[in-house]
């Protein structure tokens, strides 16, 4: 068969079913049914107006996306109201009203949204491919055209995939100069602060697009340091989000309030609070009522859902930092049981790195250490090799921090032979792609389960 005949046969839409209106309706009905922001964000991230076959469908997608971005609750009346505000399709408002009536009937039925979105994307790709081949078929009919010259362009267009945008050097230079100026005005620190002054001076702050790993043995204080960063981000207005796969939201709040008020953590569990404590709570927790920070303690979605959730939070709240506690108990992204834990962790860290870059945010994630560190004789300070199921954790991370408390191992003297107590801790910066590595001393308060600046 000649290439012209192949192109014509593929381009003949009569021989291809290139639309799936029922799937389009089911996806659009999710606007009225779906209460999961991550699912809605996934729809708006993946689908474009051109992926729908009817103008009224495209209009509802556009209106739904705008409502979601502005945190407007979507219901039939809301969708219709905002559709009527669109000028370009006023002549088709009868079709829009009919469409919304159908969506209202479908909203009581739950559909597999993720699968339907992929079906629509497949049909959309087929339609676009068909149009390209039809155009090529018309081009070939004109014998004066150079078919061989056109073919590479056609193949390139068919294989085109988004590859990201390059950065103009002069624009990047301007941003670099602005960051340098900010560093000079803030003691060399830009980005997210940890709340530990010595650590911030060492790291220069946690920057956007970075993946930061905080490692520690079980019970060493991973969550305490992660919550310290979360607490500091709340104070600085960085709109942080905390994904806790270990503690529930009440436990997280216990820790935050204890950190702020210095009221012992166990008092909240036992309910033993004095009148002075209640007065202190009233005055010192006001800032938490005004924060835009958010805690997820029951998130069980996969990486796609996590990515969509973070994307929606970025759009709606301008989130700057996402903290995840912790890596090894995140839901597995792999369905096949033949994969081992190291491969799972490698996939998760690569995806987290990509999410940070795509959303222009900082992601800070906790990580366990291998248990053999407990049985190791001599030096107990952790190294990159001690990261549990390490895979590519050390490679993907921009920075790797470790928490080390000598008292945890019954050590009572520092390296110089000076006596130390159970409050002494170290935060070790074992990897820093942007600068120096080293360690800083910190004060650990076991009553509030929190880290503080070390008094020299």
User: What is the arithmetic mean of pLDDT over 151-176?
Assistant: 63
Same domain, 128 and 226: no
Q: What is the DSSP letter of 406?
A: G
Task: In whole angstroms, give the CA distance from residue 195 to residue 220.
Answer: 18
| Position 167 in a domain | no
- 143: exposed, middle or buried (Cβ count in 10 Å: 0-12, 13-18, 19+): exposed
Same domain, 247 and 305: yes
* Category of 410 on φ-ψ map: left (φ > 0), alpha (ψ -120 to 50) or beta: left
* Last-in-domain residue among 158, 190, 217: 158
Task: In whole angstroms, give the CA distance from residue 256 to residue 239.
Answer: 15
Same domain, 133 and 232: no
pLDDT tens, residue by residue, 254-280: 898 888 888 888 888 888 888 788 888
Instruction: Supply the pLDDT for residue 10.
Output: 37
pLDDT tens, residue by residue, 397-439: 999 999 999 988 888 888 888 888 899 999 999 999 888 899 9
Instruction: Supply the pLDDT for residue 12.
Output: 44
pLDDT tens, residue by residue, 283-336: 878 878 878 888 998 777 777 778 878 888 887 788 999 999 888 888 766 544
Same domain, 21 and 97: yes
Range of the domain at 122: 3-158
List Cβ neighbours of 62 (8 Å cut-off, separation of 6 or more): 49, 86
Instruction: Supply the pLDDT for residue 364.
Output: 96
Question: Is pLDDT above 70 for 45?
Answer: yes
Same domain, 223 and 253: yes
Nearest to 107 by CA among 189, 30, 24: 30
Query: Mean of the per-residue pLDDT values for the chain?
Result: 80
* Last-in-domain residue among 96, 128, 158: 158
Here the CATH number for the domain that contains residue 254 is 3.40.50.300
| Position 171 in a domain | no
Task: In whole angstroms, give the CA distance from residue 374 to residue 147.
Answer: 70
Instruction: Supply the pLDDT for residue 2.
Output: 43
Nearest to 116 by CA among 220, 42, 36: 42
Instruction: Supply the pLDDT for residue 314.
Output: 85
| Position 163 in a domain | no
User: How many whole angstroms from its chain centre is CA 456?
Assistant: 38
Same domain, 135 and 200: no
| Position 276 in a domain | yes
| Position 164 in a domain | no
| Position 165 in a domain | no
242: which strand partners? Answer: 295, 323
Instruction: Supply the pLDDT for residue 429.
Output: 95
Here the CATH number for the domain that contains residue 148 is 1.10.860.10
Model pTM score: 0.66
116-125, 146-155, 366-375: range with lowest mean pLDDT: 146-155
Cα-based torsion angle of the residue sequence 382, 385, 386, 390 in order, rounded to the nearest 10 degrees = 140
Instruction: Supply the pLDDT for residue 162.
Output: 46
Instruction: Supply the pLDDT for residue 190.
Output: 83
The vertex-162 CA angle with 160 and 168, nearest 5°, equals: 120
Instruction: Supply the pLDDT for residue 153.
Output: 61
Give me the numbers of helices (H) and strands (E) for the chain, helices first please. 19, 9
54-68, 203-217, 331-345, 366-380: range with lowest mean pLDDT: 331-345
Instruction: Supply the pLDDT for residue 168.
Output: 73
User: What is the arithmetic mean of pLDDT over 22-39?
Assistant: 74
10-14, 65-69, 84-88, 159-163: range with lowest mean pLDDT: 10-14
For the chain, what's the residue count? 456
Question: Is pLDDT above 70 for 384?
Answer: yes
Same domain, 148 and 186: no
Question: Is pLDDT above 50 for 161?
Answer: no
7-11, 192-196, 313-317: range with lowest mean pLDDT: 7-11
Same domain, 193 and 150: no
* Last-in-domain residue among 128, 158, 188: 158
User: What is the arithmetic mean of pLDDT over 196-224?
Assistant: 92
Q: Output b/e per residue, 268-285; b: 16+ Cβ within 10 A.
A: beeeeeeeeeeebbeeee
User: What is the arithmetic mean of pLDDT over 97-123?
Assistant: 75
Task: In whole angstroms, give the CA distance from residue 327 to residue 366.
Answer: 6
Same domain, 201 and 144: no
Domain count of the fold of the chain: 2
Instruction: Supply the pLDDT for residue 399.
Output: 94
DSSP 342-372: HHHHHHHHHHHHHHHHHHT-EEEEEE-B-TH
Task: In whole angstroms, give the CA distance from residue 225 to residue 400.
Answer: 13
49-58, 116-125, 170-179: range with lowest mean pLDDT: 170-179
Same domain, 281 and 141: no
Same domain, 55 and 191: no
Q: How many CB atoms lie within 10 A of CB 93?
A: 15
At 38, the pLDDT band (50, 70, 90 cuts) reads low
| Position 166 in a domain | no
Same domain, 273 and 397: yes
| Position 26 in a domain | yes
At 13, the pLDDT band (50, 70, 90 cuts) reads very low
């Amino acid at each position: 068969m000649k290439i012209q005949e192949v192109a014509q046969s593929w381009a003949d839409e009569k021989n291809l079913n290139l639309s799936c209106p029922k799937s389009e309706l089911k996806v659009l009905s999710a606007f009225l049914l779906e209460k999961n922001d991550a699912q809605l964000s996934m729809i708006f991230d993946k689908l474009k107006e051109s992926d729908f076959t009817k103008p009224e469908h495209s209009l509802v997608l556009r209106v739904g996306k705008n409502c979601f971005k502005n945190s407007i609750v979507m219901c039939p009346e809301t969708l219709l109201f905002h559709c009527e505000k669109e000028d370009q399709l006023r002549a088709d408002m009868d079709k829009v009203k009919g469409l919304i009536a159908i969506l209202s009937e479908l909203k009581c039925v739950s559909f597999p949204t993720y699968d339907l979105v992929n079906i629509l994307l497949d049909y959309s790709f087929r339609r676009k491919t068909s149009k390209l081949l039809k155009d090529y078929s018309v081009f070939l009919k004109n014998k004066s055209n150079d078919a061989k010259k056109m073919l590479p362009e056609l193949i390139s267009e068919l294989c085109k995939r988004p590859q990201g945008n390059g950065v103009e050097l002069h624009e990047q230079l301007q941003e670099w100069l602005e960051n340098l100026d900010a560093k000079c005005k803030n003691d060399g620190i830009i980005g997210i602060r940890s709340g530990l002054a010595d650590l911030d001076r060492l790291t220069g702050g946690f920057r956007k697009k970075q993946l930061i790993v905080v490692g520690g043995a079980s019970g060493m204080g991973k969550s305490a340091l992660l919550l310290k960063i979360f607490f500091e981000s709340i104070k600085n207005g960085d709109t942080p989000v905390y994904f806790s796969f270990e503690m529930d939201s009440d436990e997280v709040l216990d820790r935050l309030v204890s950190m702020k008020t210095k009221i012992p953590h166990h008092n909240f569990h036992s309910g033993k609070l004095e009148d002075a404590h209640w007065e202190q709570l009233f005055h010192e927790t006001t800032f938490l009522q005004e924060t835009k920070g958010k805690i997820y303690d029951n998130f069980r979605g996969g990486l796609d859902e996590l990515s969509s959730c973070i994307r929606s939070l970025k759009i709606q709240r301008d989130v700057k930092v996402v903290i995840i506690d912790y890596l090894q108990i995140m839901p597995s992204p792999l369905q096949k049981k033949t994969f081992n834990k190291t491969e799972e962790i490698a996939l998760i860290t690569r995806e987290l790195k990509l999410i940070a870059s795509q959303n222009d945010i900082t992601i800070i994630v906790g990580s366990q250490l291998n248990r053999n560190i407990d049985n190791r004789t001599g030096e107990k300070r952790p190294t990159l090799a001690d990261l549990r199921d390490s895979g590519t954790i050390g490679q993907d991370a921009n920075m790797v921090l470790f928490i080390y408390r000598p008292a945890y191992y019954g050590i009572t003297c520092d390296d110089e032979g000076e006596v130390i107590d159970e409050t002494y801790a170290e935060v070790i910066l074992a990897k820093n792609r942007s600068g120096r590595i080293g360690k800083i001393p910190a004060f650990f308060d076991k009553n509030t389960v929190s880290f503080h600046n070390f008094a020299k």
